[in-house]
Structure 1
Amino acid sequence: MATSATGGTEDAVLLRYEEAGPGTVAVVTLNRPEKLNAWTHAMRTRLVEAFAEAGRDERCRAVVITGAGRAFCAGQDLAETASFDPDDHAAAEGWIDDFATLYRAIRGLDKPTVAAVNGVAAGSGFQFSLLADLRIGHDGVRMGQPEVRSGIPSITGIWAMWDILGKAKTIEFTLTGELVDGAEAHRLGLLTALVPADAVLEEAVALAGRLAELPPGAVALTKSRLRAIDDAALEESIDAAKEVHRAAYATGEPQREMRRFLEKRR
């Protein structure tokens, strides 16, 4: 049962609480279903705020992240980045900083996080799902890293995938841009469990409720150690992403490929 709800800029991110176990579970919903929940700057900003709110709320003992409609998150809204000026290096760097802030926000939660992956999780949306502690999905899920097809180098994506997939599969995902279905995602360890499509959110909240019953101090300290293991690798990948994206956008190739993609959709 929802105990409270708050919206954000144009309600692009919704935050509500459900009773579960000894505390409550915060349910954070990406809410741009007409755009497959593709990111914008405003959306990322509100999402960081929602995580901070859930982190401060003493009632909250676990967090579930999901997407409205038929997608978890299709990644960056290309309409926002296709117009980057090739000579404006600060724009590409600011874009990476935006994602770095978001990634640190979800990783920084001392409470367990569960991604309820419904439909498409692609590009940075795919990366983001991998930052949750656990992931529930269904057979129809499509997960992967198609950024190269839009002329966008995958740099933080390599970091996000490496420990789960290993070198060979990370190379395959980044260079082919292919998406895998739910069964293959589960086999590869990208999904923790497979459930019927109409039960994904319910099962994710139930799992978060069980995690909420664990001693919070032990959970927080365990998560702190898990972060410490690869914090340096994240920071290195962010620095590398700035350098690589600055070089990529200076060529104009990502902008051309994104405009071509958007034209095809029209």
Structure 2
Amino acid sequence: MSDSEKIASVLVENGDGYAVITLNRPDKLNAFNAEMHHQLRQALDAAEQDERCRAVLLTGAGKGFCTGQDLSDRVFTPDAPPDLSASLKDNYNPLIRRIRSMSKPVIAAVNGVAAGAGANVALACDIVVAARSARFIQSFSKLGLIPDAGGTWTLPRLIGDARARALAILAEPVSAELAAEWGMIWKVVDDADLDGYARQLCGELAARPTKGFALLKQAFLASASNDLSEQLDLEARLQGEAGRSDDYRTGVEAFRAKQTPAFKGR
């Protein structure tokens, strides 16, 4: 098969004001290899730069969302074991930083198993919606590894230290229902409804004042390291920026006129 005939590891579809990015290695349960990392970076960069795109939907093809690293992509030799630190620095860490800092809301539609780094990529998204059959697994300890792709940062903040430690050590699957009950994800929907619900949600977000979403993400990201006084100062600065936006003026004018606002996202 020539390069031009290879099936893309990541598919991109443009919706009405949003982009759908689909991890597309269904025969491998969408496990990451170097090519999929490269294509996903390109897709996210394109979505960030496209002014018509005001929200991003990330999902997986087939029966799974993503099972993390494709272990068949790891090469072991007697004198040179794989450098997992380099893999994280080159691929996973930039991916998590991109999702968290992206100026547009990123919605994960978890359509099946999300394991290892795949689980933590999903949990890095702004809103996580899962099919009822979905499962989240911190599978690292079964290989003698620690959670990566932000897992040791994200999990304790979502579900508390005790649960995060137990999941990391035991590597037990968490059902979508339990994940929602614990506050790990936003919502569970029936499998047949997942795609439609996620796209509807993206469409709704794309029609809202998305400049504010970008500032909101900045504020939440900084709150992890700021003390209260620093966060109050940041809120004042970001709110000042939000108040100077076209979206704020549009919202106030529409409220006063009792009309539906038409936000432009800038």
Fold in common (TM above 0.5):
yes
| AA matched with 1:14 | L
How big is the shift at 1:160? 2.0
Q: Among 176, 189, 199, which residue is 1:205 paired with?
A: 199
Which residue in 1 is equivalent to 2:10?
13
* Cα contact 2:117–2:147 (8 A) shared by 1: no
Judging by fraction of residues, say which structure has more strand.
1
**TM-score w.r.t. length of structure 1:** 0.78
Whole-Å separation in 2 of the counterparts to 1:56 and 1:175: 39
* Cα contact 1:9–1:46 (8 A) shared by 2: no
Whether 2:128 is the aligned partner of 1:135: answer yes
Runs of 5+ consecutive residues of structure 1 not aligned to the other structure: 1-6, 233-266
How big is the shift at 1:90? 7.7
Pairs within 5 Å for 1:227-246:
227-230=221-224
RMSD between superposed Cα atoms in Å? 2.1
Whole-Å separation in 2 of the counterparts to 1:101 and 1:88: 25
**TM-score w.r.t. length of structure 2:** 0.78
Q: Which of the pair has more CA radius of gyration?
A: 2
Which residue in 1 is equivalent to 2:233?
none
Whether 2:41 is the aligned partner of 1:48: answer yes
Which residue in 2 is equivalent to 1:75?
68
Whether 2:108 is the aligned partner of 1:115: answer yes
* Residue correspondences, number: 221
Which residue in 2 is equivalent to 1:182?
176
Paired residue secondary structure (1:137):
strand
Whole-Å separation in 1 of the counterparts to 2:23 and 2:192: 17
Paired residue secondary structure (2:108):
strand
Whole-Å separation in 2 of the counterparts to 1:230 and 1:80: 34
Which residue in 1 is equivalent to 2:159?
165
Whole-Å separation in 2 of the counterparts to 1:44 and 1:149: 24
Which residue in 2 is equivalent to 1:263?
none
Which residue in 1 is equivalent to 2:213?
219
Paired residue secondary structure (1:59):
coil
How big is the shift at 1:93? 2.1
Whole-Å separation in 2 of the counterparts to 1:206 and 1:63: 12
Q: Deviations over 1:106-161 (max 9, x none)?
A: 12211111100001001100000001101111221111201111222224321121
* Cα contact 1:28–1:65 (8 A) shared by 2: yes
| AA matched with 1:198 | A
Q: Among 14, 26, 29, which residue is 1:36 paired with?
A: 29
Whole-Å separation in 2 of the counterparts to 1:229 and 1:191: 19
Whole-Å separation in 1 of the counterparts to 2:72 and 2:225: 31
How big is the shift at 1:85? 4.5
* Cα contact 1:12–1:43 (8 A) shared by 2: yes
Runs of 5+ consecutive residues of structure 2 not aligned to the other structure: 227-266
Identity of aligned residues (%): 35
Paired residue secondary structure (2:69):
coil
Q: Deviations over 1:26-75 (max 9, x none)?
A: 00000000000001111112111100000100110100000000000011
Whole-Å separation in 2 of the counterparts to 1:12 and 1:103: 18
Which segment drifts farther, 7-16 or 96-105?
7-16
